[in-house]
């Protein structure tokens, strides 16, 4: 079956083609003809990643009457992120339908622009329940002309306490409408909504859940609870190209793990509900754009994040509900690529793995935490591959070749290779040289029984501490005299640097904003440029003062010292 055979036509088909959707997913095969054929209400059991947005979005867009700008479709969803994601998807699907208007309506943002957009006339509203009800009560939104009402992620809306708002909204929608409810699970509250507000709905199951597909490999690492973080670092180090989400159970643990990872030099950030909307948007954008390798997130906060090419999903904490494991794992192995779902469990959680295996109907294989030696080999091969793949601009390099050859004349090929590999690689060798095996060894012989059948090879302290104070490799912190008191946020700080340097290639890392100062990681190469550029700048009338942060000695300092021949001097600019 292709999309044309499902009944899509002209402009929608062209958009689908351009988006690279070749084969409809299972839910699309069932839902698209159903909506196009006006076959009544649907209850769809489907999760994120099954293609459900296109399943309801494409046929609905085919049915919109462009003449007359009354609201014809309402899509309700639980979070602002999901609301924006669905709006983006709908805009993509309707890119060739002229004069079609889609409006996102969500809390945590100014209501006035949203009111203005709705009043101008819109065909589709994508909304979170609270803000929509507000607009209904203000008589800005009138649901009287609705033909399609979609409830997306209904179980989450109920879990988040939107039941009353949903009741109020559904009461005001006209009788003559098609209602489409999508939910990953079917708790009682959702079933009640379906029976109260829907007419003889057809139940459609998305079939195989994403994580159960052949595209996701499931593994688990069993370690002592105290070694979980070390195991996480080793997994990240063993996969230099990792691009994944690390799921934690609570907001506090999410922040803690992210903080530790950042401190230890990983390209990681936290995403959870305690962050402000601006911070969440910033982190999600960074992750979506591929400028962030590891996102440490809670399940709820990661909801609206739709990224197709994740290599890994890591369950740092196993979820309480089994369905959530499926949800999380379904975020990898998409768009025809392979993905890996890794759980790090403690010694008492083995039974949970067995239960999850039954739910996903897939074997979750036990794996050993990579050894230091294996990680070093992996990293070394990655370095060599990068060297082989790097693009060489001969024109730019040629003028320097004479000097380079002269300087390296005393080194033969072997020595040269050793020097170059050591330069990049010494810190990994140092870090892992005494690192022990983290996988507890099960002794099968009876005589070993006294230690409960398990012996743990102790991790040397060194493993934990070496990278403790390090910033991202190749970056240093600048400290700026602007902070929360000045109402500065990461996007403004980035804007300030962009404006003052006019150099869009400057690479920034982590940004920490305290009460009256901010720390910004800047790639070493650009440190002086940023310092100089901010000279003479002011923010909201305040003169800026900026300095390089003096960091404690850490792995890699030796290297820097050798290069510069003298330690970095504290550099202060009074601006
Ligand atoms: P959803 O379940 O709606 O969140 O969709 C998951 C992802 O799959 C989105 O990034 C879609 O763009 C993508 N997608 C949806 N349908 C298809 C399809 N038929 N082929 C390939 N990718 C798709």
- pLDDT per residue as tens digits for the range 170-181: 999 999 999 999
Mean pLDDT of 277-301: 92
Report residue 160's pLDDT band, with 50, 70 and 90 as the boundaries: confident
Give the contacts of 360 (CB within 8 A, at least 6 positions apart): 209, 211, 212, 218, 325, 326, 329
What does the pLDDT look like over 350-389, one tens digit per residue? 889 988 887 777 789 999 999 998 999 899 999 898 888 8
- In this prediction, residues 262-273 reach a mean pLDDT of 92
What per-residue confidence (pLDDT) applies to 221? 95
pLDDT at 498: 74
Bridge partners of 547, per DSSP, are 479, 572
Q: Is the pLDDT reported for residue 338 higher than 90? A: no
Q: Which of 173-177, 236-240, 543-547 has the lowest mean pLDDT?
A: 543-547
Atom of ligand 1 nearest to the CA of 19: 12
Q: Ligand 1 mean position to 331 CA, how many Å?
A: 11
Q: Quick one: pLDDT at residue 472?
A: 67
**Least confident stretch, 207-221, 330-344, 440-454, 523-537:** 440-454
Residue 400 reports pLDDT greater than 50: yes
Residue 16, judged by CB atoms within 10 A of its CB (0-12, 13-18, 19+), counts as buried
Long-range contacts, 20-29 (Cβ 8 Å, 24+): 21/51, 21/54, 24/51, 25/50, 25/51, 25/54, 25/55, 25/206, 26/50, 26/206, 26/207, 26/208, 27/51, 27/52, 27/55, 27/204, 27/206, 27/207, 28/3, 28/54, 28/55, 28/58, 29/1
Per-residue pLDDT at 551? 56
Nearest residue (by CA) to ligand 1, atom 8, is 51
Going by C-alpha positions, the residue among 36, 55, 33 that lies closest to residue 44 is 55
Query: Which ligand 1 atom is nearest residue 21's CA?
Result: 20
Q: What is the mean pLDDT of residues 36-41?
A: 91
Output the CA torsion sign for 312, 313, 317, 318: negative
> Helices 80-93 and 277-288 sit at what angle, rounded to 10 degrees?
40
Residue 551 DSSP class: P
Q: Mean pLDDT, to the nearest integer, of 531-545?
A: 79
Give pLDDT, residue 57. Answer: 97
Please provide the DSSP assignment of 232-294 as one string: HHHHHHH-TT--EEEE-SSHHHHHHHHHHHHHTT-SEEEE-TTS-HHHHHHHHHHHHTT--SE
- Confidence grade of residue 465 (pLDDT, cut at 50, 70, 90): very low
Using CA atoms, how far apart are residues 28 and 117, in angstroms rounded to an integer?
Answer: 30
Query: Which amino acids bring their CB within 6 angstroms of ligand 1?
Result: 21, 23-25, 28, 48-54, 306, 308, 334-335
**Which of 139-153, 209-223, 224-238, 561-575 is the least confident region?**
561-575
What pLDDT sits at residue 476? 86
pLDDT value of residue 214: 60
CA-nearest residue, atom 15 of ligand 1 = 51
In this predicted structure, what is the pLDDT of residue 471? Answer: 65
108-125, pLDDT tens digit by residue? 889 999 999 999 999 999
Mean pLDDT value across residues 458-475: 48
pTM above 0.85, yes or no: no
Over residues 308-334, the pLDDT tens digits come to 789 999 999 998 877 788 888 888 887
User: From the CA of 51, how far away is ligand 1's center (Å)?
Assistant: 4
Query: What's the pLDDT band for 239 if we cut at 50, 70, 90?
Result: very high
The number of the ligand 1 atom at minimal distance from the alpha carbon of 3 is 19
54 CA to centre of ligand 1 in angstroms? 7
The confidence score (pLDDT) of residue 418 equals 87
Determine the Cα–Cα distance for residues 101 and 108; give it in Å rounded to an integer: 22
What's the mean pLDDT in 2-31?
92
- Rounded to an integer, what distance in angstroms lies between the CA atom of residue 316 and that of residue 296? 9
pLDDT digits (tens, 9 = 90+) for 501-527: 766 667 788 888 888 899 998 887 778
- Mean per-residue pLDDT for 325-349? 86
**Residues facing 479 on adjacent strands:** 519, 547
How far, in Å, from the CA of 52 to the mean position of ligand 1?
A: 7
Query: How far does the centroid of ligand 1 lie from the alpha carbon of residue 235, in Å?
Result: 28
> Is pLDDT at 4 greater than 60 in this prediction?
yes
Q: State the chain's mean pLDDT as an integer.
A: 84
- Average pLDDT (16-35) is 92
CA nearest ligand 1 atom 19, residue: 24
Please give the pLDDT value at position 294.
97
**Ligand 1 center–CA 253 separation, angstroms:** 31
Pocket test for ligand 1, best of 20, 22, 25, 83 (most atoms within 8 A of CB): 25
Domains of the chain by start residue, with CATH: 3-205 (3.40.50.300), 216-373 (3.40.50.300), 469-572 (3.30.70.330)
Question: What residues are paired with 513 via a beta bridge?
Answer: 518
If you measure from the C-alpha of residue 336 to the centroid of ligand 1, how many angstroms do you get, rounded to a whole number?
11
What is the dihedral angle through the alpha carbons of 19, 22, 23, 24, rounded to the nearest 10 degrees?
30
Task: Indicate whether 493 pLDDT > 80.
Answer: yes
Considering only CA atoms, give the Rg of the chain.
27
- CB of 471 within 8 A of CB of 551? yes
User: Between β-strands 518-523 and 538-539, what pairing exists: parallel, antiparallel or unpaired?
Assistant: unpaired
**Of residues 308 and 106, which shows the higher confidence score?**
106
Pick the residue whose CA is nearest to atom 5 on ligand 1: 51
Distance from the alpha carbon of residue 190 to the mean position of ligand 1, in angstroms? 24
**Is the pLDDT assigned to residue 548 strictly greater than 80?**
yes
């Amino acid at each position: 079956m292709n999309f044309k055979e499902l009944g899509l036509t002209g402009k929608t088909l062209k958009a689908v083609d351009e988006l690279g959707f070749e084969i409809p997913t299972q839910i699309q095969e069932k839902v698209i003809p159903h909506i196009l054929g006006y076959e009544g209400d649907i209850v769809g059991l489907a999760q994120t990643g099954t293609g459900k947005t296109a399943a309801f979005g494409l046929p609905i867009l085919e049915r919109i009457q462009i003449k007359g700008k009354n609201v014809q479709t309402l899509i309700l969803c639980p979070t602002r992120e999901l609301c924006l994601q669905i709006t983006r998807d709908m805009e993509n699907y309707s890119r060739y339908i002229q004069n079609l208007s889609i409006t996102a309506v969500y809390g945590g943002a100014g209501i006035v622009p949203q009111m203005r957009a709705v009043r101008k006339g819109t065909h589709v509203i994508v909304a979170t329940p609270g803000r929509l009800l507000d607009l209904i009560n203000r008589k800005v939104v009138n649901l009287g002309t609705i033909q399609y009402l979609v409830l997306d992620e209904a179980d989450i809306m109920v879990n988040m306490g939107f039941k009353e708002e949903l009741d109020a909204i559904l009461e005001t929608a006209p009788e003559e409408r098609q209602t489409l409810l999508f939910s990953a699970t079917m708790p009682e509250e959702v079933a009640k909504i379906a029976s109260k507000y829907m007419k003889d709905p057809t139940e459609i199951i998305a079939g195989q859940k994403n994580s159960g597909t052949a595209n996701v490999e499931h593994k688990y690492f069993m370690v002592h609870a105290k070694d979980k973080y070390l195991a996480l670092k080793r997994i990240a180090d063993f996969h230099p190209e990792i691009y994944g989400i690390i799921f934690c159970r609570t907001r506090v643990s999410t922040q803690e793990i992210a903080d530790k990872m950042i401190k230890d030099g990983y390209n990681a950030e936290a995403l959870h509900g305690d962050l402000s909307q601006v911070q969440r948007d910033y982190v999600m954008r960074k992750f979506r754009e591929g400028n962030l390798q590891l996102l440490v997130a809670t399940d709820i906060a990661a909801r609206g994040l739709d990224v197709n090419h994740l290599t890994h999903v890591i369950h740092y904490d196993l979820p309480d509900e089994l369905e959530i494991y499926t949800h999380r794992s379904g975020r990898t192995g998409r768009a025809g690529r392979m993905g890996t779902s890794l759980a790090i469990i403690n010694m008492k959680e083995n039974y949970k793995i067995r239960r999850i295996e039954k739910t996903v109907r897939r074997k979750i294989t036990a794996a050993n935490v990579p050894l230091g030696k294996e990680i070093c080999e992996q990293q070394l091969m990655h370095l060599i591959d990068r060297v082989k793949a790097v693009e060489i601009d001969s024109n730019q390099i040629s003028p320097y070749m004479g000097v380079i050859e002269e300087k390296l004349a005393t080194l033969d090929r072997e020595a040269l290779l050793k020097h170059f590999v050591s330069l990049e690689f010494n810190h990994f060798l140092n870090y892992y040289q005494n690192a022990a095996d983290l996988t507890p060894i099960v002794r099968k012989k009876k005589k070993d029984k006294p230690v409960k059948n398990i012996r743990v090879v102790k991790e040397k302290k060194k493993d934990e501490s070496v990278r403790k104070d390090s910033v991202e490799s190749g970056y240093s912190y600048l400290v700026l005299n602007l902070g929360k008191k000045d109402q500065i946020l990461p996007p403004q700080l980035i804007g300030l640097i962009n404006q003052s340097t006019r150099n869009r290639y400057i690479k920034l890392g982590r940004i920490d904003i305290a009460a009256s100062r901010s720390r910004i990681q800047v790639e070493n190469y650009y440190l002086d440029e940023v310092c100089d550029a901010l000279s003479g700048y002011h923010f909201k009338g305040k003169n800026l003062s900026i300095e390089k942060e003096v960091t404690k000695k850490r792995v890699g300092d030796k290297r820097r010292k050798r290069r510069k021949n003298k330690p970095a001097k504290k550099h202060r600019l009074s601006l």
